[in-house]
Amino acid sequence: MSLLSSRFVTRSATINVMARSIEKACKGLVRDFNEVEHLQVSQKGPGDFVSTADLRVEKTLRMELEKARPTYGFIMEESGIIEGEDRDHYWIIDPIDGTSNFLHGIPHFAVTVALKRGRDIVAGCTYDPIKDEFFWAEKGMGAFLNDRRIRVSTRKNLNESLLVTGFPFAGHGDPEEFKEILGRVMPKVAGVRRFGAAALDLAYVAAGRFEGYWESGISPWDIAAGIILVKEAGGHVRDLEGGHEMMDRKSIIAAPEHFHAPLLDLIHGR
């Protein structure tokens, strides 16, 4: 599927710019995935890797987005913050969310781009090139998977819910604290998953595939697009203190409104 084609939904110029940039950046990414043993890989920290594919995708996204909106700044996983003339608008980019999956040949990763205006995320796109699923949302316009409107889950009972999270790894996070949280959550729900790609975790909550997602120690580029996806799909998104500073506090909980408070209480042991 071409990300530029939409037979049933009218997209804004902003979403079209993002879709075009992602489509160009993804050319060759599936080939890279199928030949991952030939990619050059370097280690940024314990359990944290970057490949030539990450760098190439990020470079293409920046080039294409800069061409369309030359005054906007960038917040990028690999290249950091680049200021633009317009200090009110920033593209937030994760070239491959789920790099460890990608490098291990696991077909679950995504390219994700969000637009930040002031303190608000106003548009977000997350594309899974293996499954050809394009999740996108714009403030006040709803959330979509390809051409289909999506909504958060309507399940009513917490014991029927399927949750997703991120586990501490290789020096990241507090394993003991996480074990305690998991010990409180797991007996109350139908299951907890860990897929290793936060952008897709949030997209799946928006699409009703999971009833909720939480994680701490998460980076802004991992969650920026997912924040607006879940909100526009009718869900609630907060930081783990119950506030609205998800990217500053690097923590997040996303769920339908009726699951939000009970899940947050479980996480905090209240």
What is the distance between the alpha carbons of residues 94 and 177, in angstroms, rounded to a whole number?
27
**Sheet of strand 142-145: strand arrangement:** 80-82, 72-76, 86-97, 110-117, 120-128, 133-138, 142-145, 148-149
The pLDDT of residue 48 is 47
Full set of structural domains in the chain with CATH:
13-149 (3.30.540.10), 158-268 (3.40.190.80)
- CA angle 155/159/162 to nearest 5° reads 65
The pLDDT of residue 42 is 53
| Residue where the block lists tokens 């899940």 | 263
pTM of the predicted structure, to 2 decimals: 0.92
H or E segment to which residue 16 belongs:
helix 13-26
In tens digits, what is the pLDDT along the chain, a chain of 270 residues? 566 556 667 899 999 999 999 999 999 888 888 777 666 565 554 444 456 788 889 999 999 999 999 999 999 987 899 999 999 999 999 999 998 898 888 999 999 999 999 999 999 999 999 999 999 999 999 999 999 999 999 999 999 999 999 987 655 667 888 889 999 999 999 999 999 999 999 999 999 999 999 999 999 999 999 999 999 999 999 999 999 999 999 999 999 999 999 999 999 988
